[in-house]
Chain A
């Protein structure tokens, strides 16, 4: 079963708008990571948030983690065409990383 489940499955927004993706997981975790995948390519690591952290920033990315709700969110501010990709959360527990099925983000010009 999937440890991480992203929501929504697909998201289309206008360039310049903010995009928010959510991830829920089932068990306690050591950390949660977000990855981006451009069509047919490998995954690129975006950000890692540890279980004792609540919020983390990296450039236009903001990640939050709520361990009580077993959920995380990824916010991309001021979206650009190049942000069009699939985004995956990956929950890590006991040296096992389990990926969700991803959110397909499409930035409209």
Chain B
């Protein structure tokens, strides 16, 4: 069974640009959550989607958004990139709403210059 797949793995963007990251969950998993990981702040919850609906949201500005498609694949978008958005963005999936084991992808490394 394939794991959680995130694309792209690495990318470099310029301040002010926008970026879209993609996540394909494990087959059969309906919940997808996103996390931002930085050395200073650790692992911070961005949002969670279940059946195409955002169910939980972390404390991030509106520049961070996401969506989930009918096949459970998810995308997150960051607009008007800032240097501080440089981070590892991790996607995780689970069978149902978060509460049990979540399975992480390898992450997307975003560098903003």
The answer to whether A and B interact is: yes
Number of interface residues of B (CB under 8 A): 23
Inter-subunit contact A88/B43 (CB<8 Å): yes
A41 to B104, CA, bound (A): 9
Confirm or deny: A96 has a beta carbon within 8 angstroms of a beta carbon on chain B.
yes
Confirm or deny: A109 has a beta carbon within 8 angstroms of a beta carbon on chain B.
no
Confirm or deny: B102 has a beta carbon within 8 angstroms of a beta carbon on chain A.
yes
B interface SS class: strand
- Residues in A with CB closer than 8 Å to B33 are 97
What sequence of 0s and 1s flags, for each residue 18-58 of chain B, a beta carbon within 8 Å of any chain A beta carbon?
00000000000000010100000011010000000001100
8 A Cβ contacts from B1-25 to A: 4
Number of interface residues of A (CB under 8 A): 22
Give the contacting residue for A97; candidates B98, B105, B106, B107; CB below 8 A: B98
Chain A interface (Cβ < 8 Å from any Cβ of B):
2, 30-31, 33, 35, 40-45, 48, 88, 92, 95-102
